[in-house]
Amino acid sequence: MNLLETLKMALRGISVNKVRSALTMLGIVIGVGAVVAMVSIGTGATSSVTSRIQGLGSNLLTIMAGAPSVGGVRQAMGSATSLTIEDAEALKKSVSTVKNVSPELSQNAQVVYLSQNTNTSISGVMPAYEEVRNFHAAYGQFITKDDVDTSRRVAVLGQTVAGQLFSAGEEPIGKVIKINNIPFQVIGIMEQKGSGGGSSNMDDTILIPLSTAMHRVFGSRSLRQISVEVASADQMDQASAEITNLLMIRHKISDSSKIDFQIMNQAEVLNTLSEVTGTLTLLLGGIAAISLIVGGIGIMNIMLVSVTERTREIGLRKAVGAKRRDVLFQFLIESVLLCLAGGVAGVGLGFLGSVAIGQYAGWGTVISISSIWLAFFFSGAVGVFFGIYPAIKASRLNPIDALRYE
């Protein structure tokens, strides 16, 4: 008997009991759907994290002030008074790999507009902040050099803060808000940015001139951090080493274990988060694949029942000349076809499920061709693995005993 005839008989065997075949495939459908959905959601999460971190700035290094110890208790990172504007100027002037520098000072403060108020992050920045952090004004204008030089009381609002202080349809530009009871005129609204890589929500912030923040609002001469834009991506490590050496000299530190600052490399953060999300994707896919195994056990169970029910049919086929391999291939093909059909339905279910979950939770999803092929391969492998025993059992039946079977 050729392969085509065996395939026709396998299809005829499946179609005899359509309801049972459909219920048998259900475990595979759920398993493949879960694998496709979980992998697509995990891949989408990785892509979203990557794009958000890259959106924080191009080739970004963040120099954080150290964490001092008070009474033996280590304080928060960035709370030390180790970074100054002079440090930032020295970095831009002396480090060849540095393209631009943005010194920053940020603290939380109470902000009031008429009867509305909120507690948000107030960041004192320079005009270079826009380029270094890749964060631009959507309308209005950004802080200028003249604003910094004259310590002008002007403010640029993030989208979240603007929504909290002003009602829908109200024009914020030109309005006066109070930060720690100090009046500031709103001159611009930033584009929507969100957060990424562990950063605070950049939409929930107000930007003011750095000099105004230091002298009029917070009364501090030290910086919380310095954002550095490196000239090219392949110079990140070199720039980090040069910055470390320069700041150690400026801060009169000879022992590298006692440095009073920390440099965060955007590329390293991106790689770490990508590894974490990749591991989680594999974990989710592995957990979902368990249901495929459960579905395979269900298929083996049904195939064993089918062998028992069709014992006389097997005996009759052998009596008229069918060989053991013909019977084995028939039942094995039935098992594989059930799994592959379930795989097709499962891919559709996984696609719809991932889109639905993505829209409900606000996550991006990425349906990868590799995950679909993997699901198909695995479902076919499940069909072979769990169908081989019933097929062998059927092929070994004695035709005389099979014909006598009641």
Supply the DSSP symbol for 223: B
Same domain, 21 and 118: no
Residue 321 lies in a domain: yes
Amino acid at 151: S
Same domain, 246 and 280: no
CB 342 within 8 A of CB 379: yes
Does residue 79 register a pLDDT over 80?
A: no
Q: What tokens were used for 75?
A: 């304080």
What's the domain count of the chain? 2
Does residue 391 register a pLDDT over 90?
A: no
Which one of 212, 235, 259 terminates a domain? 259
* Residue range(s) defining the domain that contains residue 244: 81-259
Same domain, 296 and 383: yes
Cα–Cα distances (Å) from 327 to 101, 305, 337, 384, in that order, read: 75, 15, 15, 15
Same domain, 46 and 94: no
Same domain, 184 and 312: no
Which one of 224, 259, 294 terminates a domain? 259
Same domain, 168 and 292: no
Residue 24 lies in a domain: yes
Residue 399 lies in a domain: yes
Residue range 180-230, pLDDT digits in tens: 999 999 999 999 876 544 456 788 999 999 999 999 899 888 898 898 988
CB 207 within 8 A of CB 155: yes
The SS3 assignment for 182 reads strand
Burial class, 279, CB count within 10 angstroms (exposed 0-12 / middle 13-18 / buried 19+)? exposed
Residue 69 lies in a domain: no
Same domain, 149 and 246: yes
Residue range 317-367, pLDDT digits in tens: 777 777 777 777 777 888 888 888 888 888 888 888 877 877 776 666 677
Residues ≥6 apart with Cβ < 8 Å to 222: 65, 80, 81, 82, 83, 84, 105
Amino acid at 211: S
Residue 41 lies in a domain: yes
Same domain, 296 and 239: no
Same domain, 243 and 345: no
Residue 64 lies in a domain: no
First to last CA, the chain: 27
State residue 141's pLDDT score: 94
Same domain, 97 and 138: yes
pLDDT band at 178 (very low <50, low <70, confident <90, very high): very high
CA dist 162 and 95 (Å) reads 38
pLDDT band at 57 (very low <50, low <70, confident <90, very high): low
> What are φ and ψ of residue 306, in 5° steps?
-65, -40
Residue 240 lies in a domain: yes
State residue 125's pLDDT score: 94
Residue 63 lies in a domain: no
Which one of 259, 286, 302 terminates a domain? 259
The SS3 assignment for 53 reads helix
State the residue for tokens 């150290």. 66
Supply the DSSP symbol for 362: T
State residue 292's pLDDT score: 72
State residue 148's pLDDT score: 94
Q: Tell whether pTM > 0.75.
A: no
Same domain, 348 and 203: no
Residue range 118-163, pLDDT digits in tens: 999 999 999 999 988 888 899 999 999 999 999 999 999 999 999 9
Does residue 177 register a pLDDT over 90?
A: yes
State the residue for tokens 């109070």. 178
Same domain, 240 and 279: no
